[in-house]
Chains A and B, each alone.
Chain A
Amino acid sequence: MNTSTTLPLRDPDARKRALWAIVALLLLWPLLHIAQFRPAELFDARNLKVMGGFVGQFFPPEVSTEFLQLILKATIETLAMATAGTALAMLLAAPLGLALSYSLSISRIGPGPGRGLGEALRALARFMLLLLRGIPEIVWALLLVRAFGLGPAAGVLAIAVTYGGMLGKVYSEILESGDTRPARALLESGSGRLMAFFYGLLPGAAQELASYTVYRWECAVRASVIMGFVGAGGLGQLMDQSMKMLNGGEVSTILVMFLALVLLADAISAAIRRLLA
């Protein structure tokens, strides 16, 4: 037992900590500069006046029947966009996911003829999926609004494209991660790939596939909510308009609806996934 009273009362790690802190600050400085980090701007008289007036209008929220009807319509539109978009995404993802999945590759069992062609096709499909999901959905929406005009059609297609890419990748992974032996046995005894999928893979993977799709639908609802900021319909478009007119009362009502919608989507998706489990 140490009886001396000269126990060092300093942090043994102090030097290392100080060094890291200095390195971090040196790295942070240019970042702050690039991000134009100027908190003073928040208290700029002009900005304060705009924001203050705007937020001041948040209470009371706008609750006239006419506006509520408008919001209800936009909310249903948002839900419909997410649902239609996810349905199209599934149509896009199912064939791509099947094509990608190694557990349905006949040439891989062999290695038989056509291995090279198969691999090339797979690489192409993989690249396509990467392209589809790598570009954020709202960028797709911005582009598609230019092709299809303002309105929900662009939003639906944007979700279909991005989520098609995501679902395709995850579908193929789910099909590879489960028990692939039944499918392989079927393939080896001469069945076609589609039949091997339906009888060998789908029964084991159906629940996980469906569950993930429902989860993506929930994400699609969140995405559709903001899609409107680039003109692709739904609640976001309403919000964008109210914000541009600095109508605080309307914005606060829409915000409440936003939150309610996201919670609702959460609850629906959780309930369906519990049923599936």
Chain B
Amino acid sequence: MSVAAVSLAERQRALGFCVYCWLGMAALIAVVWGSFAYLAIDPSRLFTAESRGYMLDFVRRFFPPDLSADFLQKIGKGALETLAISAVGTLLAAMAGMVLALPASGRFGAAVRVLTRFLLNFLRSVPELVWAALMVLAAGLGPFAGTLALALHTAGVLGRLFAESLENAPPEPAVALAESGAPAGLAFVYGTLPLITPQLVAYSLYRWEMNIRMATVLGFVGAGGLGQMLYYELSLLHEAQASTVIIAMLLLVVLVDAISAWVRRRQIRAGG
């Protein structure tokens, strides 16, 4: 836009006093100040010499990390467990999501659609960690509980996304098959599924990436993986070991990030 295109009224408005901006700012500051007051936290207290010394002391206990071969092996096992939890959880979720997406896309009537949508919303709104805490009760401590927790939450997310893909898929191929005599099941498998498979796979991979991150912390409630190791070592005050686990978590997350960024860049370059 050239300068000349700015009208006088616009200039005056830009230079004038904006009541709503100031009111908004004031409200924002009040809310933030109120939050600190409600929690009785004084941020300035964090920066006193005493608390600084205390923090330094706390941080120092985490160094050096325990890099003994023995412990690294345990970490490797924990990382593998985390990956397995996320992979199996996502796979189960994709299967359950597909099963739920069919009724949720309105294939079995409007009433069933509303009902399944409600179920999907419920599955999705309960956080993974809460599901994990519940599943530890249902399936006992260990990675299986974490797998189920991820599966339940992700099934809600994927089910909704899959249902949307189903609804947006062009109906013609399946209709053509059905009209030439194919049973409904086969018409779906050969007429609709191939059209949306790339989308379903993309969604599932994206959720898998998120679930790897989530699986690292589910162990805090006893659901296996690196999180359980961290919780355990910290509760024994083994800071050196805990810091190794944290480094492993960080590496895992950064690695997954890098791989997914790389894949996405390649896809863009391939024109996909």
B interface residues (Cβ-Cβ under 8 A, vs A):
31-32, 34-36, 38-39, 41, 43, 46, 54-55, 58, 80-81, 83-85, 87-89, 91, 122, 125-127, 129-130, 133-134, 137-140, 142-144, 146-147, 213, 216-217, 220-221, 224, 227, 230-231, 234, 246, 249-250, 253-254
Indicate if the CB atoms of B35 and A41 lie closer than 8 Å.
no
Interface size class of A (residues with CB under 8 A): 35 or more
Given the interface pairs A136-B249, A142-B220, the reply to whether A34 lies near B130 with Cβ below 8 Å is: no
**How near does chain B come to A266, taking the closest CB pair, in angstroms?**
10
A32 within 8 A of B: yes
Given the interface pairs A28-B91, A135-B249, the reply to whether A35 lies near B144 with Cβ below 8 Å is: yes
Given the interface pairs A134-B250, A147-B58, A153-B41, the reply to whether A243 lies near B133 with Cβ below 8 Å is: yes
Indicate if the CB atoms of A222 and B127 lie closer than 8 Å.
yes
Given the interface pairs A77-B39, A88-B43, the reply to whether A38 lies near B144 with Cβ below 8 Å is: yes
Given the interface pairs A34-B81, A87-B32, the reply to whether A226 lies near B130 with Cβ below 8 Å is: yes
Which B residues are CB-close (under 8 A) to A233? 39
Indicate if the CB atoms of B217 and A136 lie closer than 8 Å.
yes
A183 within 8 A of B: no
**How near does chain A come to B81, taking the closest CB pair, in angstroms?**
6
Of listed A35, A44, A77, A229, residue having the most chain B CB within 10 A:
A35
Which A residues are CB-close (under 8 A) to B138? 42, 47, 50-51
Which B residues are CB-close (under 8 A) to A157? 46
A84 within 8 A of B: yes
Q: Which listed residue (B39, B54, B127, B142) contacts A153, Cβ 8 A?
A: B39
**How near does chain A come to B48, taking the closest CB pair, in angstroms?**
13
Residue ID in chain B nearest A140 by CB atoms: B246
A153 to B230, CA, bound (A): 21
Which B residues are CB-close (under 8 A) to A229? 129, 133, 220-221
Q: Which listed residue (A41, A79, A83, A222) contacts B140, Cβ 8 A?
A: A41
Indicate if the CB atoms of A35 and B249 lie closer than 8 Å.
no
Indicate if the CB atoms of A84 and B88 lie closer than 8 Å.
no
| Pairs across A and B, CB under 8 Å, 6 listed | A28-B88, A32-B84, A42-B139, A143-B234, A152-B41, A236-B129
Q: Which listed residue (A31, A80, A130, A147) contacts B87, Cβ 8 A?
A: A31
A68 within 8 A of B: no
Indicate if the CB atoms of B88 and A41 lie closer than 8 Å.
no
Indicate if the CB atoms of B80 and A34 lie closer than 8 Å.
yes
Interface of chain A, main secondary structure:
helix
A81 to B89, CA, bound (A): 31
A236 to B88, CA, bound (A): 27
A176-231 contacts to B (CB < 8 Å): 222, 225-226, 229-230
A138 within 8 A of B: yes
Q: Which listed residue (B34, B43, B234, B249) contacts A146, Cβ 8 A?
A: B234
Which B residues are CB-close (under 8 A) to A31? 83-84, 87-88
Indicate if the CB atoms of B35 and A87 lie closer than 8 Å.
yes
Which B residues are CB-close (under 8 A) to A135? 246, 249-250, 253
Given the interface pairs A36-B144, A134-B253, A259-B125, the reply to whether A139 lies near B217 with Cβ below 8 Å is: yes
Q: Which listed residue (B31, B144, B234) contacts A37, Cβ 8 A?
A: B144
Which A residues are CB-close (under 8 A) to B129? 138, 226, 229, 236
Indicate if the CB atoms of A32 and B249 lie closer than 8 Å.
no
Of listed A32, A226, A243, residue having the most chain B CB within 10 A:
A226
A94 within 8 A of B: no
Which B residues are CB-close (under 8 A) to A81? 35, 39
A128-169 contacts to B (CB < 8 Å): 130-131, 134-136, 138-139, 142-143, 146-147, 152-153, 156-157
Which B residues are CB-close (under 8 A) to A102? none
Which B residues are CB-close (under 8 A) to A240? 133
A225 to B32, CA, bound (A): 18
A246 to B134, CA, bound (A): 10
**How near does chain A come to B183, taking the closest CB pair, in angstroms?**
14
Which are the 10 A-B pairs with shortest beta-carbon distances?
A: A34-B84, A80-B35, A83-B35, A84-B35, A35-B84, A51-B138, A87-B32, A31-B84, A35-B88, A226-B129
Indicate if the CB atoms of B34 and A80 lie closer than 8 Å.
yes
Digit string of A18-36 for contact with B (CB within 8 Å is 1, else 0)? 0000000000101110111
Given the interface pairs A28-B91, A35-B85, the reply to whether A139 lies near B54 with Cβ below 8 Å is: no
Indicate if the CB atoms of A77 and B125 lie closer than 8 Å.
no
Indicate if the CB atoms of A146 and B58 lie closer than 8 Å.
yes
Which A residues are CB-close (under 8 A) to B127? 222, 225-226, 258
Residue ID in chain B nearest A151 by CB atoms: B39
A85 to B91, CA, bound (A): 35
Indicate if the CB atoms of A142 and B87 lie closer than 8 Å.
no
A76 to B220, CA, bound (A): 24
Indicate if the CB atoms of A138 and B220 lie closer than 8 Å.
yes
